Amino acid sequence: MTQPDAVTMSGVMPSGRPFVQTPGPTNIPDRILRAMDRPVIDHRSPEFAQLTEDVRAGLRRVFGTRDGAPMLYPGSGTGATEAALVNALAPGDRVLVYTYGVFSSGLALISRRFGYDVDEVAMRWGQSIPADDVEQRLRADVSQAKPYRAVMVVHNETSTGVTCDIAAIRTAMDAAGHHALLIVDTVSSLASIDFRMDEWRVDVVICGSQKGLMLPPGLGLLGVSQHALEVQRQHGGSPRHFWDWEPILRENRGGLFPYTPATLLLFGLREAIRMLVDEEGLEAVYARHARMAEAVRAAVAAWGLQTVCERPEDASNTITAVRVPEGLDSNDVTRFASENYGLSLGGGIGELNGKAFRIGHLGSLNELEVLGTLGGVEMTFIELGLEIELGSGLLAAQRSFLGLSEDGTVAAEERVPATV
């Protein structure tokens, strides 16, 4: 028997679209769905070679690189992470990893599994990476017999809603005169938060398809600098087959892959790149995400709740993790919203399980969708007996969108243009 897509607790299929405001997978625009809704083509045909060329050129623009090599794997962000590590690092290599949430801790964990020697600096969940600490550690490390081969960073920690300053980390590495590779996970930031692979000299960029790129899950993506390719050639890396960069580079030159590519997802990716890069423009995409995030944060403040992110300057423009008051289990919030309003929020994960929930505000998203989400969260709070003022978060978000101060006057110069 086929199951309905979304059913409320009463078992009735709700009308209207379900609201998926998790930190990914994100909503897929109809245009992208239509681009993928087509017969599979031969992945050895000239038409497919052109598609490969188009998406590789487009991805370079998304990563912010002129000559970095985009790599596309059927897979996900975790697969892309594994691909980055087994090419760039060999067993016994020393690596520096700061951990401040589930995914940065994951980088340390995966590295240990491959036999790399991990120096893990544990931060509080809610903090970001202090660039001065990076500089100090790297200064002390340059004279080691075996200095760090890589510094690994999660740009946007999806579990806490914290964004790290990659430019500052690069500056710290340069100031220390350290030549480690800079490997950055951008799974929940690419095509949503400003990212500049060449300018910040990021050696390997890790991503997946299902967040800022507005595609279904199914692709693991890398951007690999020429420097990282050179280091890999000299250094050798770890045992690998499927993830190996060399056969991919060789085959990609003719528009081919050394494995069966995710053909239809690539049609979707080409459409996503058209929408993000050619039509809206990446700067406008980043500005839109900033606008959505500010409104969400205004709502959280109006409810009198705390974000997991400790410092406003580290707040993520794609995800807000909200702490719930003592006595309330955040899993009840996500469950109630899903069962009663068809609203999917992200749960608290890792040590935040039960203590926080996450609002995803990334990908294909506009003002009214954010207001709908916040309205659903408010109704959930009230139903669960949380003492917040009904409408307070919505009002704060609307004011944020309109550039209105609390007394209702318009700060004309502060008005931000709407999405459409």
Shortest Cβ distance from residue 155 to ligand PLP (Å)?
Answer: 8
Sheet with 356-360, edge to edge strand ranges: 19-21, 343-347, 356-360, 319-323
Shortest Cβ distance from residue 156 to ligand PLP (Å)?
Answer: 6
Q: Read off the DSSP letter of residue 186.
A: -
Out of 187, 190, 300, 396, which residue is the one contacting ligand PLP (CB under 6 A)?
187
Please count the residues of this chain forming the interface with ligand PLP, following the rule CB under 6 A: 11
Kindly state whether residue 141 participates in binding ligand PLP, applying the rule CB under 6 A: no
Kindly state whether residue 273 participates in binding ligand PLP, applying the rule CB under 6 A: no
Residue of 106, 96, 63, 64 lying closest to 222 (CA atoms): 63
Give the other-Cβ count within 10 Å of 132's Cβ: 10
Find the binding residues for ligand PLP in span 2-61 (CB under 6 A). Answer: 24
Shortest Cβ distance from residue 183 to ligand PLP (Å)?
Answer: 12
Question: Are 382 and 390 spatial neighbours (Cβ–Cβ below 8 Å)?
Answer: yes
CA 146 to chain centre: 32
Kindly state whether residue 208 participates in binding ligand PLP, applying the rule CB under 6 A: yes
Tell me the C-alpha distance between 103 and 98, whole Å: 11
Q: Which stretch binds ligand PLP (CB under 6 A): 163-171, 182-190, 256-264, 353-361?
A: 182-190
Residue 197, judged by CB atoms within 10 A of its CB (0-12, 13-18, 19+), counts as: buried
Kindly state whether residue 338 participates in binding ligand PLP, applying the rule CB under 6 A: no
Out of 63, 73, 98, 103, which residue is the one contacting ligand PLP (CB under 6 A)?
103
Would you say 32 or 394 has its CB closer to ligand PLP? 32
Out of 6, 49, 61, 78, which residue is the one contacting ligand PLP (CB under 6 A)?
78
Please report where in the chains the tokens 């912010």 appear, as a residue. 64
Helices (H) and strands (E) in the chain, counts: 13, 13
Out of 154, 166, 181, 213, which residue is the one contacting ligand PLP (CB under 6 A)?
154
Shortest Cβ distance from residue 185 to ligand PLP (Å)?
Answer: 5
Would you say 75 or 393 has its CB closer to ligand PLP? 75
Please report where in the chains the tokens 């929940």 appear, as a residue. 188
Shortest Cβ distance from residue 36 to ligand PLP (Å)?
Answer: 18
Kindly state whether residue 76 participates in binding ligand PLP, applying the rule CB under 6 A: yes
Kindly state whether residue 263 participates in binding ligand PLP, applying the rule CB under 6 A: no
Kindly state whether residue 376 participates in binding ligand PLP, applying the rule CB under 6 A: no
Tell me the C-alpha distance between 39 and 72, whole Å: 21
> Integer distance in angstroms from the first to the last C-alpha of the chain?
41
Kindly state whether residue 218 participates in binding ligand PLP, applying the rule CB under 6 A: no
Tell me the C-alpha distance between 201 and 65, whole Å: 9
Tell me the C-alpha distance between 173 and 95, whole Å: 14
Binding residues for ligand PLP, per CB under 6 A? 24, 76-78, 103, 154, 158, 185, 187-188, 208
